[in-house]
Amino acid sequence: MAEISTIARPYAVAAFKFAKEKNALAKWSDMLSLASTVSSDETLHAVIQDPKVDGQVLQDVFLKVCGKKLDKHGQNMIKTLVEYKRLSILPAISSAFEDLKAEDEGSIDARIVAAIKPTVAVTKDLVKKLEAKFGKKVTAEVEIDPEIIGGMKIIVGDTVIDASIKGQLQNLAYSLTA
């Protein structure tokens, strides 16, 4: 079975291109976020996953829950997702859309994993260095993980910079066994 992100990406790209063309990126971001939240609701998610539920009923219920917060184009997307039994991938579509939007706006997200909470000055300095490296505005989220022992691990998109003690020990162990 194909990975969810692989299936979701074409929908996100289509929504992004349409929203960009209509100058409505923020509106589409809000609509997809709402639809994603609705599809992730425990009760509605169970209904979405139930093969016995008629597509038209599912579509009507979903659109009613979303109310007027979805414009006609957003509603059309929901109808298409219901028709192709893809409603459950809305969170992945929303996430991919946000990635495309951030890339278009020249910003990227970074996750900084540290053994202990870094100072504000250290975090700001790291963000400046990441912005210089990637040439984009960086929004950083700091996460504490005592298991990395010391140092930091920085994740920006597909790039991982592992300067943690745990990572260095793993590299050393690998090189000793190879």
* pTM over cut 0.75: no
* φ, ψ (nearest 5 deg) of residue 118: -75, 155
Domain count along the chain: 2
Query: Bridge partners of 142?
Result: 112
Domain boundary among 87, 102, 117: 102
Residue 35: per-residue pLDDT: 95
The pLDDT, as a whole number, for residue 178 is 73
Which of helix, strand or coil describes residue 65? helix
Q: Does residue 131 sit in the same domain as residue 151?
A: yes
Give the domain extent around 61: 4-102
Tokens of 113: 């994993």
**Same domain flag for 97 and 110:** no
Q: Are residues 8 and 44 in the same domain?
A: yes
Amino acid at 157: G
86 with 6: CB under 8 angstroms? no
Q: CATH number, domain at 133?
A: 3.40.30
Element (H, E) at 36: helix 25-40
What is the per-residue pLDDT for 2?
Answer: 61
pLDDT in tens, the chain (178 residues): 468 888 999 999 999 999 999 999 999 999 999 999 999 999 888 888 888 989 999 999 999 999 899 999 999 999 999 999 999 999 999 999 998 998 888 888 899 999 999 999 999 999 999 999 988 889 899 999 999 999 999 998 778 999 999 989 999 999 998 7
User: What local confidence, expressed as pLDDT, does residue 162 receive?
Assistant: 92
Identify the CA nearest to 116 among candidates 156, 154, 143, 141. 143
> What pLDDT shows up at residue 156?
87
CATH number of the domain to which 79 belongs:
1.10.520.20
Whether residue 130 is found in the same domain as residue 61: no
